[in-house]
Amino acid sequence: DLGGSWEFHMAGQKKWYPAHVPGCVHTDLLAAGLIPDPFYRTNERDLQWIDKVDWEYKKTFTPGEDLLSRERVRLVFQGLDTYARVYLNGALLIRADNMFRTWSADCRPFLRKGPNTILVRFRSPVSEDLPKRLDLGYQLPGPGWGWIGGLGKLGISMFARKAQYQYGWDWGPRLVTSGIWRPVRLEGWDRARMESVQYLVRSLTPKEARLTARVEVRGTRPGKALLSILVQGTDLPAFTREIDLAEGTGTCSLDLAIPRPRLWWTNGLGEPHIYTLEAVLSGEGRILERRSTRIGLRTLRLVRKKSMGGKSFYFELNGIPLYCKGADWIPADSFPSRVTPGKYEFLVKSAAAAHMNMLRVWGGGIYENDLFYDLCDRYGILVWQDFMFACALYPGDAPFVENATREAAQNVKRLRNHPCLALWCGNNEMDAVLGPWGWMKDFDPEIRKKITADYDRIFHLVLPKVVSACDPTRPYWPSSPLADWGVHTSLQARSGDYHYWGVWHGKAMFESFRDNVGRFMSEYGFQSFPLLDTVSRFSTREDWNIDSEVMKAHQRSGIGNERIRWYMSKYYKVPRRFDHFLYLSQVLQAEGMKIGMETYRRAKPFCMGSIYWQLDDCWPVASWSSIDYFGKWKALQYFARKAYAPLLVSPCEEKGRLLVHAVSDLTKPVTGTLRMEILDFRGPSLWSREVPAEIPSNGSLPLFHVEKKEILAGKDPRRILFHAALVSKGKTLAENVHYFMKVKDLDLPRPKCSFSVKAAKGGVEVRLESPVLAKNVHLYLQKGSAFFEDDFFDLLPGRPVTVRARTALSPEAFEKRLRLLTVWDTLD
Ligand code: BMA
């Protein structure tokens, strides 16, 4: 491992500073005290010089005897960002131009006994790509945040095979970094080594799983070797065969069988069982290499068949039609090298806690670290994997296409053994850029033809070819979405994945989710602000106004503040206080998205996926995320946990009627009672009804309906709520509330919440109660922090609830610091 401490400086300078590998220029400059925190206030603007200069990294190391005694030694960089030249003891070994590729070189002849020096020179991505843009003579469509970096309207991001979000996004700063962003090592070997191991499940029955291992072996000269595969944790004997070695790389196969296989299931359906297989290569009487791979045994099929006036789009897992619930994933930091394993685990665990079973790795970020996919394997979360192209059009010259092809092949090979990996998707929204968004209309026809041909080559020829060659069992889907919201024809919406942005971008009310249901929702979303404790980490008190310069610098959507305020004024009374506004923005987002999430679940099986935009943030910002940069669950994350529960009861209004649906993702039917009630906010129950409920497995159906006129007769809709609960054997399996008016029109009473706190495992238990309705109760601590298991919920009159909180505080200290905020408190 050549990671750890290195030195770096701006090219041409004398003095070197300490650096850390993996890392990047920005984090190294920050650690050396040479720049202020790029996320603080408007510091981003002053740091734009960093991408205009070249940087050098160096390290001196002494290889051990063992390494020097090897026949071959290879220098491997798992990630160089981006335009880099690598020198070992002065000899140029690698010229890199793609952040997403692994770069390696045989370096045995250049290695010395004693100290060796490795130098990596990073050329400025701006100096490298600006000439390409100028030579082209026209601007390829793209997101266009270049003005922040002093480039005016010149967009250059599409020329670089580098994380696109770093050039600025509508939730991300423009911080274009460079560096050795993934591990680097020397690999010594003799005789032969495995270049790759692929496990293909050929057949899977309760009796037996049959697999084929395909191993690429590289030899130094012709001869014989032995390949064995061990299934760890079982008493199965090793599967073994003799193989021929050549000088160079060859492929060999080995069949294996696992009796009574334990399957890999997604979160909510069962255990995501993992098998560890070890491939062992031996020759000349010794072990040459061992390689462990964790796999899962499952069948996963993307089912596309004519149905319901279009074409289905759903996954079938081990024979069961799977409703996908989840969110879109963006890199968890502007500087991906500093995302800790703990942060990865927290985010994936948070997704699982909200009953998600799919994350979509969006194409403007990175092919994630191995750890991310390991975690998704372990938590039973499928990954929809975009190739890294988003919201732009890309050059089509031969070197670019070649570079993209190698990038695709390497990443497909790296990730294909993960059971979590569900689908390869060509890009994010490029189909929309070419068509519906109208970004192409000003080009002259010749250029338009060329751009379209370039698009077709990569996304309809090259990438599907790579997938079918390297990962033949996974589906390839050219672009997400197939149908964009603005101009979709009803056939498209009935046939593929769908990004619905009428809410937010199109200023449609939340209720419009109901008229915009696709077969698989791969994006829809709404923004909110992080709460004050997060805001105060990047701002000072004088910035605490959403239109201040600093807050605007942390709101990257040009329409963002205006949209939030507009929607808020439609549904709520807009509060004057800053902290109340932040809180209410989260309530607005969560309640609005609740309508979307529940609509898309009720629409099962026509609609078989609800993936909302977006799970996480890459810095502290106003955004569509449900978890903020510092890991605080926003109201939306709590609401997702309820809307995505395996069993959902969902009331809604339709054509003058109130309907109550049940949606089940369970594999067994449920029998129980639907208990309904109308409560006055101030306590009394005004109406109640019970009906028997038979809910089939894996389905959605209405359980009850009534004319609104009938149920509301003689009641004041401003003062009542409808509560529905699914009860079986005395246990509440699911519950939900519905209001008949927008919150701004409700006659909310002043809550009189009381609470008591007692010790519980890992923290405390808070018992809350109010004689009158308390709407969207937010729990927080005056000082210090805690993780609340539930938050932003409606506390119904006279119905106490218990909420657990993880904290290190004693119950007494906790009780002293506990504070509550409700919608009523934000009314001036
Ligand atoms: C979608 C995404 C992102 C963007 C989001 C919000 O189209 O693919 O590009 O951040 O909308 O505008």
Q: Closest Cα to residue 518, out of 307, 301, 313, 303?
A: 313
Report whether residue 503 contacts ligand 1, using a CB cutoff of 6 Å.
no
- Candidates 165, 167, 170: which one to mutate for ligand 1, based on the most atoms within 8 Å of Cβ? 170
Give the whole-angstrom CA distance, residue 213 versus residue 197.
7
Give the whole-angstrom CA distance, residue 22 versus residue 336.
10
| 584, two tokens | 């209410």
Specify whether 446 is catalytic: no
Give the whole-angstrom CA distance, residue 785 versus residue 763.
12
Band of pLDDT at residue 439, cut at 50, 70 and 90: confident
- H or E element: which one contains 342? helix 341-353
Point out the least confidently predicted range of 175-179, 487-491, 600-604, 733-737. Answer: 487-491
Q: For the beta carbon of residue 555, count every other beta carbon within 10 angstroms.
A: 21
Taking only the tens place, the pLDDT of each residue in 34-70 is 999 999 999 999 999 999 999 999 999 999 999 999 9
Answer yes or no: is pLDDT of 485 > 60.
no
Answer yes or no: is pLDDT of 483 > 80.
no
What's the CA-to-centroid distance between 37 and ligand 1, angstroms?
26
Taking only the tens place, the pLDDT of each residue in 272-294 is 999 999 999 999 899 999 999 99
**Under a CB-based contact definition with an 8 Å cutoff, are residues 722 and 658 in contact?**
yes
**Under a CB-based contact definition with an 8 Å cutoff, are residues 249 and 195 in contact?**
yes
- Beta bridge partners of residue 721, listed in sequence order: 679, 739
| 418, two tokens | 């993960």
What number does the ligand 1 atom closest to the CA of 499 have?
7
Mean pLDDT score, 776-789? 94
What number does the ligand 1 atom closest to the CA of 429 have?
8
Residue for token pair 């001036």: 828
Answer yes or no: is pLDDT of 706 > 60.
yes
What's the CA-to-centroid distance between 390 and ligand 1, angstroms?
9
Band of pLDDT at residue 487, cut at 50, 70 and 90: low
Taking only the tens place, the pLDDT of each residue in 636-689 is 999 999 999 999 999 999 999 999 999 999 999 999 999 999 999 999 999 999
Residue 77: helix, strand or coil by DSSP?
A: strand
Report whether residue 169 contacts ligand 1, using a CB cutoff of 6 Å.
yes
Band of pLDDT at residue 596, cut at 50, 70 and 90: very high
What's the CA-to-centroid distance between 497 and ligand 1, angstroms?
15
Answer yes or no: is pLDDT of 789 > 90.
yes
- Which one-letter DSSP state was computed for residue 827? -
Band of pLDDT at residue 494, cut at 50, 70 and 90: confident
Give the whole-angstrom CA distance, residue 530 versus residue 522.
24
What's the CA-to-centroid distance between 568 and ligand 1, angstroms?
21
Give the whole-angstrom CA distance, residue 575 versus residue 582.
9
Residue for token pair 């029998």: 671
Share of the chain above pLDDT 70, in %: 99
pLDDT value at position 489? 61
Phi, psi at residue 306, to the nearest 5°?
-60, 125
What's the CA-to-centroid distance between 759 and ligand 1, angstroms?
43
What's the CA-to-centroid distance between 607 and ligand 1, angstroms?
21
What's the CA-to-centroid distance between 505 and ligand 1, angstroms?
10
Residue for token pair 């070189």: 105
3-state SS track over 645-658 = CCEEEEEEEECCEE
Band of pLDDT at residue 437, cut at 50, 70 and 90: confident
Mean pLDDT score, 289-304? 97
Cβ contacts of 701 within 8 Å, gap of 6 or more: 661, 662, 695
Mean pLDDT score, 307-311? 90
Report whether residue 428 contacts ligand 1, using a CB cutoff of 6 Å.
yes
Helices (H), 72-216: 125-136
**Average pLDDT across the chain, whole number:** 96
**Under a CB-based contact definition with an 8 Å cutoff, are residues 535 and 581 in contact?**
no
Q: Closest Cα to residue 474, out of 375, 385, 539, 587?
A: 385
Report whether residue 145 contacts ligand 1, using a CB cutoff of 6 Å.
no
Protein residue closest via CA to atom 4 of ligand 1: 170
Share of the chain above pLDDT 90, in %: 96
Residue 91, Cβ density class (10 Å: 0-12 exposed, 13-18 middle, ≥19 buried): exposed
Answer yes or no: is pLDDT of 492 > 80.
no
Band of pLDDT at residue 4, cut at 50, 70 and 90: very high
pLDDT value at position 482? 76
- Candidates 145, 613, 619, 621: which one to mutate for ligand 1, based on the most atoms within 8 Å of Cβ? 613
pLDDT value at position 667? 96
- Beta bridge partners of residue 776, listed in sequence order: none
Of 56, 368, 407, 429, which is the active-site residue? 429
Report whether residue 523 contacts ligand 1, using a CB cutoff of 6 Å.
yes
Q: Closest Cα to residue 121, out of 88, 91, 83?
A: 83
Specify whether 187 is catalytic: no
Report whether residue 328 contacts ligand 1, using a CB cutoff of 6 Å.
no
Report whether residue 613 contacts ligand 1, using a CB cutoff of 6 Å.
yes
Report whether residue 344 contacts ligand 1, using a CB cutoff of 6 Å.
no
Q: E-assigned strands of 235-311?
A: 239-245, 248-259, 275-283, 286-295, 300-303, 306-307, 310-311
Answer yes or no: is pLDDT of 152 > 60.
yes
Taking only the tens place, the pLDDT of each residue in 377-405 is 999 999 999 999 999 999 999 999 999 99
Beta strands 497-499 and 520-523, pairing class: parallel
Cβ contacts of 183 within 8 Å, gap of 6 or more: 1, 3, 21, 22, 78, 79
Answer yes or no: is pLDDT of 246 > 70.
yes
Of 56, 523, 598, 769, which is the active-site residue? 523
